[in-house]
A and B are shown apart, each in its own frame.
Chain A
Amino acid sequence: MAESVKVLPEEIQELIDVREWDLRTREGVQRFRELRAKSLPSIAMDGELIYESLIPGQEELCEEIRRRYQTGS
Chain B
Amino acid sequence: MGLLEIFDPVAAPRPIGIDLGTTNSLVARMRDGAPVAIRDCDGEALLPSAVYYDERGQVIVGREALRMAPAHPRDTIVSVKRLMGRGANDPETARLGTIDFAAPTSPDEARTVRLRVQGRILTPVEVSADILRRLRELAEDEMHSVGGAVITVPAYFDDAQRQATKDAGRLAGLEVLRLLNEPTAAALAYGLDHKKNGLFAVYDLGGGTFDITILLLDDGVFQVRSTGGDSALGGDDMDRALGRVLLEHMGAAEDASPEVVRLALDAARRAKHALTDREEVALELPRMGGGTATATVTRAELERLVAPIVERTGVACRRALRDAGIEASALDGVLLVGGATRVPFVRRYVRDLFGREPLADIDPDQVVALGAAIQADLLAGAGSTGEVLLLDVLPLSLGIETMGGVAEKILPRNTTIPAGARQVFTTYADKQTGFELHVVQGERELAADCRSLARFTLRGIPPMPAGMARLEVTFHVDADGLLTVKAREVTTGIEQEVLVKPSYGLSDEEVERMLLDAIDHGEEDFERRKLAERRVEAERILIATRGALAADADLLDASERKAVETALAELTVAVAAGSANLVQAKIDALDDATKEWAGRRMDRAIAHAIAGKQIDEVDATVAQARGVDEQVAEHQARLPPGARSSQTGPTGEGS
Same assembly: no
B residues engaging A (CB < 8 A)? none
Q: Which residues of A contact B (CB under 8 A)?
A: none
